[in-house]
């Protein structure tokens, strides 16, 4: 794949210089708003910093050592991974299904599209509040429709699935819109050709549509996974991390440590681990992405 380096013409060199100059403001912004705070949090995580007690001392990796054996942290890590895996998988499947249905729909497409976007446009806190009422054990729509009296948010086994469903409802449209846009770009000739070859609806979907959506799926997967690994707002409003910490994610734990317990150093250490987790996922996906450039 690697091309032998070719000597640059003076013009190309000038272009490169100009490119750097033009990119400089954006890079400076990025450095100021992302790299600097990121390094600061890393530095903070090596300290015991408790502003309310005037404590600020270097403790090295002590917080990380404590976290390695902290049951609450390990539980939050597990919850984060389960949440991310389940919600992203559901979003992807439902999003592609909805996009395919939408593309086939003849009438009311605009209305369906708007309704879809409504869920995505709603602030997470509003969504969570709506779901709080939907899940209400006595007066909630969910129990009414199912004919049950399940304690959705108060039962440690049901709370995480309930939170995942709320998140899927909110973010599935993002995947659907991406996939829908790609579907519109598929030339009709491909489908005609499939029909001529005698492919049924299912075969067309699995052999034509799905492969062509591969790239979009990977991009959606990347965005949604990174988001889900940092999940905070839905559980913050719906359950506060409970019951019995069944819905506490790493970000929520970091938030509690910093803003409620005022353990800035300790909370930063949790934040750094979330950051590392997100970077790891991003790196893994980006390695997957360019390899299928030809497919899309």
**Residues found near another protein in the complex (CB under 8 A):** 48, 50-55, 66, 71-72, 136-138, 151-156, 159, 239-245, 248, 256-257, 259-263
CB of 118 within 8 A of CB of 174?
A: no
Q: Which of 44, 218 has the CB closer to another protein?
A: 44
Q: Which of 209, 251 has the CB closer to another protein?
A: 251
Q: Which of 87, 245 has the CB closer to another protein?
A: 245
Q: Which of 154, 161 has the CB closer to another protein?
A: 154
Q: Which of 159, 234 has the CB closer to another protein?
A: 159
Least distance in angstroms from the C-beta of 41 to another protein: 14
Least distance in angstroms from the C-beta of 143 to another protein: 10
Q: Structure tokens of 61? A: 């990796």
Q: Which of 151, 204 has the CB closer to another protein?
A: 151
Q: Distance of CA 66 to CAs 61, 190, 212, 265, 269, Å?
A: 9, 58, 47, 12, 10
Least distance in angstroms from the C-beta of 269 to another protein: 13
Least distance in angstroms from the C-beta of 10 to another protein: 40
Q: Which of 62, 215 has the CB closer to another protein?
A: 62
Least distance in angstroms from the C-beta of 28 to another protein: 22
| Angle ∠(74,76,165) on CA atoms, nearest 5 | 145
Least distance in angstroms from the C-beta of 84 to another protein: 21
Least distance in angstroms from the C-beta of 110 to another protein: 18
């Amino acid at each position: 794949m690697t091309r032998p380096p070719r000597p640059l013409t003076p013009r190309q060199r000038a272009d490169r210089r100009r490119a750097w100059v033009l990119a400089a403001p954006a890079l400076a912004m990025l450095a100021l708003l992302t790299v600097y705070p990121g390094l600061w949090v890393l530095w903070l995580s090596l300290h015991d910093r408790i502003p309310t007690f005037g404590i600020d001392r270097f403790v090295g990796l002590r917080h990380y050592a404590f976290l390695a054996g902290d049951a609450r942290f390990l539980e939050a890590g597990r919850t984060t991974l389960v949440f991310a895996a389940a919600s992203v998988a559901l979003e992807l499947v439902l999003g592609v299904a909805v996009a395919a249905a939408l593309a086939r729909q003849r009438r009311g497409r605009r209305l369906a599209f708007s309704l879809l976007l409504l869920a995505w446009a709603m602030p997470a806190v509003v969504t969570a509040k709506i779901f709080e009422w939907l899940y209400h054990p006595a007066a909630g729509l969910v129990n009414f429709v199912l004919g049950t009296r399940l304690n959705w948010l108060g039962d440690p086994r049901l709370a995480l699935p309930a939170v995942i469903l709320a998140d899927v409802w909110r973010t599935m449209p993002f995947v659907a819109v991406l996939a829908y846009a790609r579907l519109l770009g598929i030339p009709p000739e491909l489908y005609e050709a499939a029909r001529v070859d005698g492919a049924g609806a299912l075969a067309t979907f699995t052999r034509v549509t799905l492969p062509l959506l591969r790239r979009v799926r990977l991009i959606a997967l990347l965005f949604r996974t990174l988001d889900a690994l940092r999940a905070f707002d839905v559980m913050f409003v719906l359950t506060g991390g409970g019951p019995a910490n069944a819905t506490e994610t790493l970000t929520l734990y970091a938030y509690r440590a910093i803003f409620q317990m005022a353990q800035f150093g300790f909370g930063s250490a949790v934040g750094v681990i979330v950051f590392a987790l997100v970077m790891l996922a991003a790196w893994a996906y980006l390695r997957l992405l360019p390899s299928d450039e030809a497919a899309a």
